[in-house]
Structure 1
Amino acid sequence: MVGTENLRRTGVLALQTLAVAGSYYAAGRLGLLWDLTVEGAVFTPIWPPTGIAVASLLIFGLSVWPGIALGALLVIVHLTSSLEPDVLGNLAGNTAAPICAYLMLRAVGFRTGLSRLRDGMALVFLGALTGMLISSTVGVGMLVMADRLQSHSFWGVWLAWWVGDAMGVLIVTPLLLWLYESQWPPQLSRWPEATALIVVTGAVVPLVTHSSLSVLFLVYPLLIWAALRFQLIGSMLCALATSVVATVAAREEAGPFEGLSRVEVMIKLQAFNGTIALTALLLSAVITEQRNTRRSVEAACHELVEVLEHLTAGDAPRGRPVQSEGEADGGPPQQETGR
């Protein structure tokens, strides 16, 4: 019986590891569709595999880290056929960064439901900005050591690499955690409003990202609408769609990215994508926390009303005579005496 249980656990772990590896590789191939070249190095403004890696560790635990390593190896093999020392160093950095992000999040009591502001702050500053320092530093450092990148280009490529990895955590990880925590099938009580939000977003986002006017700020009302009405899933999907469309505009050097150098395009795009992701994640976390607090207060008030109703109904049940002190103490009943 024990052996069967161990075999079952091993099989489940193997399937989880393979699923993580396959998802990592598929997301890597998808991310490479929107790559940009800065200082002779190719980078992606949003690197979805980092978000998948962090979410997988938070959901399945540290035991699936070989799946992250295997997925990163498959992506590297797709890009280059030679496994040189710098490539192996890149593999180690891409594996270590999500693991360190996971350990830091667990150390501060991170909850996958993202129902508190502190969870959103932890995911931003520990999971994304701090954890992804490892992959960017190791990856770009290996390129310089292998003479594939000039040392004076280190910081430009490092910044692009770091922000791309961080964006993957900021956008992809919350969506996967929502899918894991949400109840299925989802309620469609507000589908007309959701449809209207999708239509407006589909019309406004391409317009502002391809317009020669500086109107990128018009995206923020959509984020606020999505966060207020649909919390995490609405705001993060809106942020993801906006980031993808903005990346396409940057590759085409259209709209606000027209006439800029490659470095300026990278800085402007990453700054825009970063602020969009931060606004969506933190705003939805604040709204979710406030709603949960209000529900807790309403539940406490309801319980208090029930208690008060029982107290005002009387100490004794109806139809039963009230005992005197002597009867209650077990003594003889008191008799009336006249003068």
Structure 2
Amino acid sequence: MAVRRTGLAGDGLRLALVAVAYYVSARLGLELALVHGQVTPVWPPTGIALVAILVFGVRVWPAVAVAAFAVNLPIGPNPLGAACIAAGNTLAPLTAAALMKRAGFRLELDRLRDAAVIILLGALTGMAVSATVGSLVLVISGSVPGSNFAQTWAVWWTGDAMGVLLVAPFLLSFWPQAGRPALAWSRQIELAALLGAVAVVTFVAFQNPFRLEYLVFPLIAYAAVRFRLRGAAPAALIASGVAVWAAVNGTGPFAEENLLQKMVTLQGFNVFVALASFVLASYVDTRDREEQMSRLYTAARMSNEAKSEFLRTAAHELRSPLSVLGGYLSLLSGGDLGNPPPKWVGPLEILTAKTWELNRIMDDLLEVSRLDGAVIPGREKLDLRRVVEAAVERARPRAGLAGGQISMKIPDERVEVVADASQLGHLIDNLLNNALIYATRPARILVRLSLEGPCAKIRVDDNGIGIPEGMREAVFEPFRRGQQPGFENVPGTGLGLYISRELAIAHGGTLALQKSVVDEGSTFTLTLPLAVAEGSARA
């Protein structure tokens, strides 16, 4: 109950703050009214309402509606008209927020895409709702002649849109952003001095009849580059505020202009400083982010190259002592140095098996280092039957040690592919090795080679433990191992299927798990394109 009351109190306080901010900013905006005491060149509440809905959600709409009605009641044509105008003022930011969220707008406003979204959807599209409703109410009530509808709509729309373009970015500049530290005191002082300079330059520019108002742009651009949105948004708001004050008081370039000319001059300046500020800030943020990503990519690539070089070096350095070890083990096991004592037979078999496993790990490490550098097979036309037969012959001794059997079905005619024989052999070795590791004793493995259209297919069937549904793509990821009970400590690197798929892709083919049934077995299918016949190639 206490939590519920705390939540209600927090929501009530949030609604009150939004309503007060909307009402106070509206009263200040009405002091700058240029058309019928109702339409202003900049309507700050639209920016406040839009940000409130974006940050707190649509549940704050009652605060916007109540505040808008309170603002319009004393100045509207009648209570009903004030209620209708308030409804339009509420629907506009709701519509804008919905469109912006659908477009993927981010509150950080640090992408050019976000700048485009707030301009096109937040300001230009969303604020057309309030302008249309408000202008219709004024015309229907007789407060504005029907002939002035278009002019009233344009002034209302530009005022609401400018509220979004100037106030919303200013409020969003306070939104916490990951990786953006708080400004140090020295930079805060620099920013304050810069904003003061913007105010002074804008004031001086609008105190003389010459068109010097755009002299403030370099300062706004500097604020955007130096401080991003935290500098650009307040600089634009200050410049716009000074310009509106000058227009209301008829100073500088506004002295000899009529109402329409004032609106054109003022809104042209406001649009310029608004867009130039946060669009430039978003561009700088985007550029910095791309440069950072480029640096990270370069560092990652160099690290990957160093890893690959280490793997190649380690594998080559370890291969020599392993070859020597394997050679001596072969001499001992084969009796070339005399028949070994009976007690040595078991340990020699274990040492031989482990040496074989280490050799396979070295092969995998070398293959991974080659894959990282992009596989470019040494292509030649070859008979795929011979590659399959050689791989099966290499695997049969190991299968025989465990009482297993590897069968083979291949066609009588040649099956020609363009491939690297060594890499293709390694690929099939990996499939057979995988089948032997996870087979249910005694292992029963069937290798089938067939022609299917323009492709050759090699299927490896086993009677192994199978692969669960959720793991059927994961087994092709590097360092992923079978997790079934009893197989947790199976030797290997978890790179075999990953390497095999990469080699298949490098040969223009595919490797897939065709089917798998837990506790019954699996079928892996390798598909390779057939070599194009010479006659077909010439044709």
TM-score (norm 1): 0.87
How many Å separate the matches in 1 of 2:182 and 2:194? 21
Higher mean C-alpha deviation, range 177-186 or range 157-166: 177-186
How many Å separate the matches in 2 of 1:104 and 1:133? 13
Q: Assess if the C-alpha contact under 8 Å between 1:156 and 1:263 holds in 2.
A: no
How many Å separate the matches in 1 of 2:279 and 2:39? 26
User: Taking structure 1 as reference, are residues 190 and 301 closer, same or farther at Cα in structure 2, changes over 3 Å only?
Assistant: farther
1:110 alignment counterpart? 105
1:197 aligned to 2:194?
yes
1:16 alignment counterpart? 14
2:129 alignment counterpart? 134
1:61 aligned to 2:57?
yes
The equivalent position to 2:282 in structure 1, one of 282, 285, 292, is: 285
User: Taking structure 1 as reference, are residues 69 and 332 closer, same or farther at Cα in structure 2, changes over 3 Å only?
Assistant: farther
| TM-fit CA distance, 1:181 | 2.4
Amino acid in the other structure paired with 1:17: L
Question: SS at the partner of 1:124?
Answer: helix
Q: Assess if the C-alpha contact under 8 Å between 2:69 and 2:85 holds in 1.
A: no
Q: Assess if the C-alpha contact under 8 Å between 2:246 and 2:252 holds in 1.
A: yes
How many Å separate the matches in 1 of 2:96 and 2:68? 16
Matched length? 330
How many Å separate the matches in 2 of 1:242 and 1:214? 15
What is the percentage of aligned positions where both structures have the same residue? 32
Give the CA RMSD over aligned residues: 2.8
How many Å separate the matches in 2 of 1:280 and 1:150? 37
Superposition map of 1:148-227 within 5 A: 148-182=143-177, 185-188=182-185, 190-191=187-188, 193-227=190-224
1:27 alignment counterpart? 25
| TM-fit CA distance, 1:6 | 4.4
User: Taking structure 1 as reference, are residues 64 and 323 closer, same or farther at Cα in structure 2, changes over 3 Å only?
Assistant: farther
Deviations 1:3-35, CA, capped at 9 Å, x for gaps? 5554443333222222211211121122223x1
How many Å separate the matches in 2 of 1:335 and 1:202? 92
Question: SS at the partner of 1:308?
Answer: helix
* Higher normalized strand content (fraction of residues): 2
| TM-fit CA distance, 1:68 | 1.0
| TM-fit CA distance, 1:79 | 3.8
User: Taking structure 1 as reference, are residues 79 and 133 closer, same or farther at Cα in structure 2, changes over 3 Å only?
Assistant: same
Amino acid in the other structure paired with 1:287: V
How many Å separate the matches in 2 of 1:322 and 1:281? 63
| TM-fit CA distance, 1:77 | 3.7
1:263 aligned to 2:284?
no
* Higher normalized helix content (fraction of residues): 1
How many Å separate the matches in 2 of 1:335 and 1:103? 78
User: Taking structure 1 as reference, are residues 308 and 264 closer, same or farther at Cα in structure 2, changes over 3 Å only?
Assistant: same
1:71 alignment counterpart? 67
Q: Assess if the C-alpha contact under 8 Å between 1:316 and 1:322 holds in 2.
A: no
Higher mean C-alpha deviation, range 116-125 or range 9-18: 9-18
Superposition map of 1:309-320 within 5 A: 309-313=306-310, 316=314
Deviations 1:156-189, CA, capped at 9 Å, x for gaps? 2221111111111111111212212246743445
2:245 alignment counterpart? 248
User: Taking structure 1 as reference, are residues 136 and 185 closer, same or farther at Cα in structure 2, changes over 3 Å only?
Assistant: same
Q: Assess if the C-alpha contact under 8 Å between 1:112 and 1:181 holds in 2.
A: no
User: Taking structure 1 as reference, are residues 320 and 310 closer, same or farther at Cα in structure 2, changes over 3 Å only?
Assistant: same
Q: Assess if the C-alpha contact under 8 Å between 2:34 and 2:41 holds in 1.
A: no
2:420 alignment counterpart? none
Higher mean C-alpha deviation, range 43-52 or range 10-19: 10-19
1:45 aligned to 2:41?
yes
1:89 alignment counterpart? 84
How many Å separate the matches in 2 of 1:160 and 1:322? 84
Q: Assess if the C-alpha contact under 8 Å between 2:92 and 2:129 holds in 1.
A: yes
| TM-fit CA distance, 1:138 | 0.6
Amino acid in the other structure paired with 2:212: V
1:231 aligned to 2:218?
no
How many Å separate the matches in 1 of 2:150 and 2:277? 28
How many Å separate the matches in 2 of 1:224 and 1:254? 25
How many Å separate the matches in 1 of 2:309 and 2:186? 39
How many Å separate the matches in 2 of 1:67 and 1:326? 83
| TM-fit CA distance, 1:291 | 1.1
How many Å separate the matches in 2 of 1:327 and 1:121? 68
Deviations 1:133-172, CA, capped at 9 Å, x for gaps? 0111111110110011111222222211111111111111
Amino acid in the other structure paired with 2:241: V
User: Taking structure 1 as reference, are residues 185 and 221 closer, same or farther at Cα in structure 2, changes over 3 Å only?
Assistant: closer
Question: SS at the partner of 1:143?
Answer: helix
Question: SS at the partner of 1:56?
Answer: helix
Q: Assess if the C-alpha contact under 8 Å between 1:105 and 1:122 holds in 2.
A: yes
Q: Tell me, which stretches of 5 or more residues in structure 1 are unaligned?
A: none
| TM-fit CA distance, 1:268 | 1.6
1:145 aligned to 2:140?
yes
Amino acid in the other structure paired with 2:102: A
Question: SS at the partner of 2:34?
Answer: strand
Question: SS at the partner of 2:60?
Answer: helix
User: Taking structure 1 as reference, are residues 25 and 196 closer, same or farther at Cα in structure 2, changes over 3 Å only?
Assistant: closer
User: Taking structure 1 as reference, are residues 56 and 316 closer, same or farther at Cα in structure 2, changes over 3 Å only?
Assistant: same
User: Taking structure 1 as reference, are residues 311 and 150 closer, same or farther at Cα in structure 2, changes over 3 Å only?
Assistant: same
Higher mean C-alpha deviation, range 162-171 or range 6-15: 6-15
Q: Assess if the C-alpha contact under 8 Å between 1:210 and 1:254 holds in 2.
A: yes
